[in-house]
Amino acid sequence: METLIEELKTTHQKTLQETDTQLSLTLESLESAVEFVSAMSEDEEMMFQILKEWESSLHQEKRDITIKKSQKDYHRVLSKVGKHLVSIPSNEIPFLTSKKLEKELMDQLIAEHLYRIGDFELGDQFLKESGSKIPECFRGLMVKMHKILGQLYERDISSALNWVHQTLQIRDKDSVNEKEVKKNKNKKESKKGTEIKKGMEIKKEMEIKKKEEEIEIEIEMEMEIEKDKEEKEKEKNKIGKETNNTQQQQILKKTHSFEFRLHKAFYLNLLLKNELKEAINYSRKWFKQFASTHMKEIKQLAGCLVYSNGFAKRRFPELFDGSVWLQLHSEFREIYCLVAGIPSHSPLELLCQAGESAVSVLKKVSGLIPINTGDELPMEIPVDNNFKFHSSFICPVSKERSTQKNPPVLLKCGHVISKSSMKTLIEGGKTKFKCPYCPVITNSQIDCIEIKF
Amino acid sequence: MNLQKSLIQPCFEQLSRRLHKQYSLLNKTLTASFKILYSLPKNQNVGSDKIVEQMKKEIERLSKLQKDLNNYSKDDQLIIKKMQLRLQYHLSLLQVTQKNKTKNEEENENQEENKQEKDKDKEIKKENEIKEEKNMDKEKDKHIEIEKEKYMNIEENIDKEKKKENGNEKEKEKEKEQENEKDTKFFQDQIKLRKLELNRKLTEYMFRKGYNKTGTMLTERHQFLKQLVDQSLFLQGKKVSVSLSKHNLSIPLKWCLINRSKLKKIDSRFEFQLKKQQFIEIMRKGNRKEAINYARKNFPPWVGKCFSEIKSVMGLLAFPTPNEQSSIPNEEKEPFEILPERYQLLYGEHSWRKLNELFTREHVVLFGLSESPSIEVEFKAGICAVKTASCHSLHKKNQNNQQKITEHGTEKGKKMGKKKKNKKDSVLKGFDLFKEKKNINTNDNNDVVDRNTNCPTCHPIVNKIAKNYPRNLITHSLIICPLSGQIMTPDNPPMIFPNGNAYSLDEMKKMAEQNNGIVTDIKTNQKFKFTQLRKAFIV
């Protein structure tokens, strides 16, 4: 393609030049002819002779034909380009284009993306023109984030520190609140049980035996429904609590180390300016709380004090070249979004990135196999590890994905297979079986643990 | 390859149209003037003054032609430059994606080697580990370098502004040369390219949907966007669609005439649809004769492709038109309501909307672009690639609970009618049915809830959209540590607690070091000794 376009360019220039020269030459000869004719205006015979000669020379030179030829050359190359373009297959993937994407949802995602980049003007304009809306709290969150980021770009950590302290305080309050909420829930559940029992008693007193039967059935059914409801709520709460717990732990850890890095960056700044005393005071004030977790780094930072006159830069170049600040920027984004409960990167951007490579694979396959709307694609789209956010276990024996009903099972030797493949190995009432990967014998009732990834 | 087509074909179409115009102009003037010039010596009776006049006229004409052609070709050259720029952009994008592919292939190769050589020497194992570390370090370094460049760019921009304030001509010329070099360098910078690509897709989306102000704002903010996006194309298309929304068919018909040959190549029926609508409009006024004449003139060439549609449209002749009164007296219903639904639809807004949609699609396909904006295509493909079963497990569980309750309600109703002998049997039966239905509806709802706030498909809006899309097939296990968020590798395997939960080895080591060998399961707050944990080997 490149060569074609180069060719196009050159031929275009050629034709331009050709036509230009030919036209100017004709104009010249015309003008000279005009001069002659006007000079010879009295003698008509001479005039016509000159004209005849000039006309025959025009015929011979055939300038108009050369002009047309050169234009045709250009046309020829252009049509080559056109043919090449037509030969490229079209972009369409029918199974994707058949699924309509709601305009509003897409607009909302784009507006979110624009706010995340920090372009609030553009985002507002876009929302005006498209007519869609976004929850205002999101915009507020992003405005705050970009304010703090802006300060960090100028190497000012004060607002970031404030934010860190605020979030740590809120987390402490939250844990206290959770305990209170637990107590209230227990009270509510006990109330429900007493109400149901009262209902049963009243109804039994009122009705005859036949009706009593039916009513008892009803009540038992209701009990079951409510039991199931409660169970499900408990499960939800459990799962919610589990995830909350892990999330909170993650948040606490990450904010803790982020705070340390803020202080570290400021300390290094002070060292750069050769304000050693202030640096020492600062470190004494802030580094204590991080002694248990970040001792190695603190040692390195303290060691920098030993070097004078900028030798620290040579000894620890990675500390003084600005990369510390750059890491802070990306870390802050991640933590801020984690605390707020939103994804750290724009989902639109991530999905479009993943989609770039996916499009070619989907196109190839859609020509060969029909990709119907099942739950799963018939082939795997190879995707970078950056785009993997959930755990999934595939049994090496049966190649099935593990679910809650068919969980992965840990054997004595440390290998993991799915429960169903273990059952097939136990077939015939056995309790002991060999691991399919190593010759270690596992007892199915004693040594196995079901794993929850 | 697809991108190439959508980038370059619009330019090509522009060039070819201009060439046609140019060529016809040139042809006309040249043949006309040369005719006159050749015929000059033959008119012997004409006076010399007139001859001179004619010759001067031709001089004027030809010199005008020269000027016009020169101006034309200057613009042509700009378009060709644009084509070259777009091609360069496309090639550098290809390079970027190829680099990523080779990176992934290298990593995969390293993993495979690891598996083979676990049986063999340990030294080779270590070498591979070092390679992987280097790859990871390289990636980290690149990321840091890119961020450094960002930071440097901010300083560069400040310098640029200062230069502009000085405003020397020589400096400006130097800057231009540097900019030209920077063009090529810009395209070699991976992250900038990716951002530019995303912005290009966004601007295309804006212009396609008609958000012109935001589109122009975007083009002003980023370099190269004006040359990469075909703003004029979409604006032209808007004219036609505006006239369609105003129920005016003249402009679209003109457009069809101009692009007839190309529409034929795509095998489009847009022209027929326009004529069909024209027929409907004539019928709406009640002129059956005129309508029949119009049909006789315009429908025959389309009989081969659209015969069934012609038939159904002609059926309108048999029914009363919206403005007519029915011939049957004392009719309670209005005449229009007698019409069956499909004919009512033809008279309504629905057909205009369809026309509009058809136009927007075809207009864009003519120029080699895809039917829907490229951002939507990639977004959808991305959903298919990234979506997993656990992205929807919460959502589906909620749905299922509701279903169960309603189904149980109907079960109750059935039982009230029946008379049963054994209470217990009836109750148990209900429960069994209940369970069975549970199984039918819980194909994928047995998934463990595995929340990750960073997962884009778990985002509420994307989740709504992603309901209808299939998920990616997974062939290899991938376990992520809930504490660190990292993917567990053979060097950092999962450690299994006696209650079944799993965390990575590194995290457990750290925890054990800080707590005298005791590790706590965060999900249940139970405490165990580090020695009670068992290593799992995931194949």
**Contact between B441 and A375 (Cβ < 8 Å):** no
Pick the residue from chain B with its C-alpha nearest to A36: B52
CB pairs under 8 A between A and B: 425
Distances in whole angstroms, Cα of residue B326 to Cα of each of B280, B313, B329: 19, 20, 7
Q: B537 vs A101: CB contact, 8 Å cut-off? A: no
Give the CATH number of domain A390-453: 3.30.40.10
Residue A120 exposure: Cα atoms within 13 Å on the Cβ side: 11
Q: A125 vs B213: CB contact, 8 Å cut-off? A: yes
Rg over alpha carbons for chain B, rounded to the nearest Å, is 36
Q: A373 vs B523: CB contact, 8 Å cut-off? A: no
How far off is chain A from B335, nearest CA to CA, in Å?
37
The closest of B467, B405, B416 to B438, measured between CA atoms, is: B405
Lowest mean pLDDT among A267-281, B151-165, B195-209: B151-165
Amino acid B435: pLDDT: 36
- Is a pLDDT exceeding 80 seen at residue A104? yes
How far off is chain B from A5, nearest CA to CA, in Å?
7
The closest of B465, B225, B202 to A116, measured between CA atoms, is: B202
Helix (H, G, I), strand (E, B) or coil at A443: strand
DSSP codes of every residue in B90-117: HHHHHHHHHHHHHHHHHHHHHHHHHHHH
Lowest mean pLDDT among A77-86, A126-135, A363-372, B174-183: B174-183
Q: How far apart are CA A328 and CA B325, in angstroms?
A: 78
Q: B423 vs A217: CB contact, 8 Å cut-off? A: yes
- Is a pLDDT exceeding 80 seen at residue A295? yes
Domains of chain A by residue range: 1-90, 345-373+382-388, 390-453
In this predicted model, what pLDDT tens digit does every residue of A340-389 receive, in sequence order? 888 889 999 999 989 888 888 888 888 788 776 677 888 888 888 888 88
Top-confidence residue, A111 or B142: A111
SS3 readout for B407-472: HHHHHHHHHHHCCCCCHHHHHHHHHHHHHHHHHHHCCCCCCCCCCCCCCHHHCHHHHHHHCCCCEC
The CB-based long-range contact list for B96-99 (8 Å cut-off, 24+ gap) reads: B96/B190, B96/B193, B96/B194, B97/A356, B97/A357, B99/B190
pLDDT tier, A46 (very low <50, low <70, confident <90, very high otherwise): confident
Distances in whole angstroms, Cα of residue B50 to Cα of each of A137, B31, B53: 83, 21, 5
- Single pTM value for the model: 0.75
Q: Least CB-CB distance to B405: which of A75, A225, A405? A: A225
Quote ipTM for the complex: 0.79
- The Cβ of residue B145 has, within 10 Å, a number of other Cβ atoms equal to 13
Pick the residue from chain B with its C-alpha nearest to A375: B470
- Is a pLDDT exceeding 70 seen at residue B290? yes
Amino acid B379: pLDDT: 92
The closest of B312, B287, B286, B285 to B299, measured between CA atoms, is: B312
Distances in whole angstroms, Cα of residue A99 to Cα of each of A363, B1, B80, B376, B509: 15, 23, 37, 11, 48
SS3 readout for A316-370: CHHHHCCHHHHHHHHHHHHHHHHHHCCCCCCHHHHHHHHHHHHHHHHHHHHHHCC
Q: Which residues of B270-287 are buried (b: 16+ CB within 10 A; e: fewer)?
A: bbbbbbbbbbbebbeeee
Entry field: residues in chain B: 539
Q: What is the mean pLDDT of residues B243-251?
A: 88
The closest of B531, B391, B373 to B469, measured between CA atoms, is: B391
Q: What is the mean pLDDT of residues B147-151?
A: 51
The closest of A151, A176, A148 to A163, measured between CA atoms, is: A148
The CB-based long-range contact list for B487-491 (8 Å cut-off, 24+ gap) reads: B487/A385, B487/A388, B488/B538, B490/B114, B490/B537, B490/B538, B491/B129
DSSP codes of every residue in B22-40: HHHHHHHHHHHHHHHHHHG
Q: Which of B3, B36, B48, B486 to mutate to test the interface with A (most CBs of A within 10 A)?
A: B48
Q: A390 vs B525: CB contact, 8 Å cut-off? A: no
Q: What is the dihedral of CA B484, B489, B492, B495, to 10 degrees?
A: 80
Chain A environment of B477 (Cβ under 8 Å): 392-394, 396
Q: B66 vs A24: CB contact, 8 Å cut-off? A: yes
Q: A119 vs B372: CB contact, 8 Å cut-off? A: no
Q: How far apart are CA A14 and CA B161, in angstroms?
A: 40
Amino acid A219: pLDDT: 72
Amino acid B106: pLDDT: 64
Chain B environment of A378 (Cβ under 8 Å): 473
Amino acid A351: pLDDT: 92
Residue A318 exposure: Cα atoms within 13 Å on the Cβ side: 8
Q: What is the mean pLDDT of residues B123-144?
A: 51
Amino acid A203: pLDDT: 59
H-helix or E-strand spanning residue B528: strand B526-529
Rg over alpha carbons for chain A, rounded to the nearest Å, is 40
Chain centre to alpha carbon of residue A285: 39
In this predicted model, what pLDDT tens digit does every residue of B425-446 receive, in sequence order? 444 443 333 333 333 223 344 4
**Contact between B319 and B343 (Cβ < 8 Å):** yes
The closest of B275, B320, B454 to A388, measured between CA atoms, is: B454
Lowest mean pLDDT among A30-44, A196-210, B76-90, B496-510: A196-210
pLDDT tier, B185 (very low <50, low <70, confident <90, very high otherwise): low
Q: Which of A32, A392, A435 to mutate to test the interface with B (most CBs of B within 10 A)?
A: A392
Chain B environment of A228 (Cβ under 8 Å): 404
Burial label, A409 (beta-carbon count in 10 A; 0-12, 13-18, 19+): buried
- Is a pLDDT exceeding 70 seen at residue A228? no
The closest of A139, A340, A318 to A255, measured between CA atoms, is: A340
Average pLDDT of chain B, as a whole number: 75
Q: Least CB-CB distance to A351: which of B27, B456, B477? A: B456
Tell me the β-bridge partners of A261.
none
Q: Let me know the angle formed at the C-alpha of B285 by B281 and B287, rounded to the nearest 5 degrees.
A: 100
Amino acid A205: pLDDT: 64
- Kindly state the percentage of chain A with pLDDT values over 90: 7
Q: B423 vs A218: CB contact, 8 Å cut-off? A: no
The closest of B218, B244, B247 to B360, measured between CA atoms, is: B244
Distances in whole angstroms, Cα of residue B436 to Cα of each of A134, A220, B423, B430: 42, 19, 20, 10
Amino acid A108: pLDDT: 92
- Is a pLDDT exceeding 50 seen at residue B400? no
Q: Which residues contact A158 (CB under 8 A, 6 or more apart)?
A: A151
Chain centre to alpha carbon of residue A441: 45
Top-confidence residue, A215 or A16: A16
Determine the number of helices (DSSP H) and then strands (DSSP E) in chain B: 21, 5
In this predicted model, what pLDDT tens digit does every residue of B403-429 receive, in sequence order? 343 333 344 434 443 444 444 444 444
- Is a pLDDT exceeding 80 seen at residue A254? yes
**Contact between B207 and B229 (Cβ < 8 Å):** yes
For B494, list phi and psi in degrees, rounded to 5: -75, 140
